[in-house]
């Protein structure tokens, strides 16, 4: 009787353990995009610790910075290394591709123990706004990088892929089942799809419900989220209550129609920004990202592609030097602020606390700010050019309608612009002159909704070293500008 009881208890324990492992597998496989287009990047070691503390198992990079990759060594984190679009032409040469693989993959696999699993050849190279600039250079680069990986003996561990924007496919019927690749690039995409399929590589797609809402004022807002509040879309009996599933399955149908229905899919980027637009705020970002995590944690996948979803949140950290051509929100995609502080509550299902863990050992500059002098007059003719100068060289994307600092008065707007420029330039005294309009204060000018930042200590390691002389030159230019 005792033996039976033990066997029964042991069996129950094993079952519970298996269930826990299964649940953890489903909710903990989330990845993050780690971009570095910032004026002040956190040291890579701090970011890697933050990734580990938050249970991220995968990270997607946009380049192959040596220090970044070295810091990921021995972390166990799966890495997708990136090749920027401006390198695609160069990698049309097999010799150049072999050199790139040797320097950016082989070295890190053999010497730094970096768990590189993918090489992203280009970043959304077929984006409509590029007007076909990379249509003829992407595939040759993809072929050559794959050949170089195999030649170096990495073919089984490291796979190539091409992260593409969801605008590469469309549906004539507005239903997922009508999905196919855009007619104008159909042959280019199929060429890549076939190559990926032949070589056991995944198709990587970036899906952004926020962009749909941003581009179309008539877009049904609830359809962007996962709460089930949207008017359902019926596609031949298959019901869609959120845009992610419908968009994802439009791709599945496009692949299926062209004979590649079983090609693995990675969601390379998905997220919601927190500032820079009326629909970009903390509340909606938290709602979207938490909803997405809950949606994929069940492991059900989408109607046309059941099973766990392989996805990378966009993004890990804000990047204040990103291009704002798509919109001011581009600098605010992070679930963490530039200094590694969590912006809002988000349960990734990977930590004991059920919340985000901030970066540790972050070093800041002094608690001081640059603001408009109290006695300065708003009709001073130097105000407008000074603000324009500051915003063109710093980050004023939190100013404007519907943004976090949209409620500031005129003096507040000027001070915000001045301070942004001052902080980006490492609190140099000369960066707060502005023709005598600026003054340095130790009294925090922030409001409940608008934070006037203090920057972190500059990191000059690795690729950052090349900016040292640029910053010194900038300081001289600043000095000359204020004198003249």
Could you give the residue ranges of the DSSP H alpha helices within 29-103? Answer: 44-53, 66-71, 94-101
* Rg value, the chain, Cα: 24
In our burial notation (b when 16+ CB lie closer than 10 A, e otherwise), range 250-284 reads bbbbbbbebebeebebbbbbbbbbbbbbebbbeeb
Between CA 471 and CA 474 the distance in angstroms is 5
Spell out the long-range contacts of 460-465 with Cβ–Cβ below 8 A and sequence spacing 24 or more: 461/43, 461/44, 461/67, 462/44, 462/65, 462/66, 462/67, 462/68, 463/63, 463/65, 463/66, 463/67, 464/41
* Tokens encoding 152: 């170096």
Question: Is-contact 149 160, C-beta < 8 A?
Answer: yes
276: left (phi over 0), alpha (psi -120 to 50) or beta: left
Say how far apart CA 222 and CA 36 lie, in whole Å.
32
> 2-28 vs 282-297: helix axis angle to the nearest 10?
140
* Structure tokens that stand for 121 in this block: 């050849």
Tokens of 170: 């469309």
- Cα→Cα distances 203→179, 198, 330, 367, 482, Å: 16, 12, 24, 47, 52
Compute the C-alpha angle 238/242/244, nearest 5°: 100
Active site residue 124: yes
Give the active site residue among 78, 98, 124, 319: 124
Catalytic residue among 269, 298, 319, 330: 269
Catalytic residues: 124, 269
């Amino acid at each position: 009787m005792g033996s039976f009881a033990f066997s029964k208890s042991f069996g129950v324990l094993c079952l519970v353990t298996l269930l826990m492992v299964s649940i953890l597998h489903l909710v903990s496989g989330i990845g993050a995009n780690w971009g570095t287009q910032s004026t002040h990047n956190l040291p890579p070691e701090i970011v890697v610790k933050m990734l580990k503390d938050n249970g991220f198992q995968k990270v997607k990079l946009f380049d192959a910075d040596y220090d970044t990759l070295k810091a990921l060594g021995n972390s166990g984190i799966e890495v997708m290394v990136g090749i920027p679009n401006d390198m695609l032409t160069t990698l049309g040469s097999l010799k150049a591709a072999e050199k790139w693989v040797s320097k950016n993959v082989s070295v890190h696999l053999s010497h730094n123990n970096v768990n590189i699993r993918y090489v992203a050849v280009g970043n959304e190279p077929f984006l409509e706004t590029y007007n076909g600039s990379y249509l003829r250079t992407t595939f040759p680069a993809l072929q050559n990088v794959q050949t170089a990986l195999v030649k170096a003996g990495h073919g089984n561990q490291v796979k190539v892929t091409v992260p593409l924007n969801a605008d590469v496919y469309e549906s004539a019927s507005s239903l997922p089942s009508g999905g196919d690749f855009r007619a104008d690039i159909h042959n280019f995409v199929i060429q890549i799809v076939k190559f990926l399929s032949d070589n056991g590589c995944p198709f990587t797609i970036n899906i952004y419900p926020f962009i749909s809402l941003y581009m179309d004022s008539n877009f049904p807002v609830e359809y962007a989220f996962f709460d089930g509040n949207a008017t359902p879309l019926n596609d031949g009996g298959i019901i869609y209550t959120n845009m992610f599933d419908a968009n994802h399955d439009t791709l599945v149908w496009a692949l299926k129609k062209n004979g590649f229905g079983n090609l693995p899919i990675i969601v390379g980027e998905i997220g919601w920004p927190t500032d820079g637009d009326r629909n970009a705020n903390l509340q909606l970002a938290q709602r979207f990202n938490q909803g997405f995590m809950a949606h994929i944690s069940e492991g059900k996948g989408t109607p046309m592609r059941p099973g766990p979803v392989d996805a990378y949140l966009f993004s890990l950290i804000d990047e204040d030097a990103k291009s704002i051509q798509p919109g001011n929100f581009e600098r605010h995609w992070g679930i963490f602020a530039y200094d590694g502080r969590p912006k809002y509550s988000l349960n990734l299902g990977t930590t004991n606390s059920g919340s985000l863990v901030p970066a540790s050992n972050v070093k800041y500059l002094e608690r001081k700010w640059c603001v408009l002098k109290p006695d300065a007059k708003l009709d001073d003719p130097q105000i407008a050019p000074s603000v324009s100068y500051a915003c063109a060289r710093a980050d004023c994307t939190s100013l404007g309608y519907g943004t976090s600092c949209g409620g500031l008065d005129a003096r507040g707007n000027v001070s915000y612009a001045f301070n942004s420029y001052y902080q980006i330039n490492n609190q140099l005294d000369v960066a707060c002159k502005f023709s005598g309009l600026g003054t340095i204060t130790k009294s925090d000018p922030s409001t409940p909704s608008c934070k006037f930042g203090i920057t972190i200590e500059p990191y000059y390691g690795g690729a950052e070293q090349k900016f040292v002389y640029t910053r010194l030159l900038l300081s001289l230019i600043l000095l000359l500008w204020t004198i003249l």
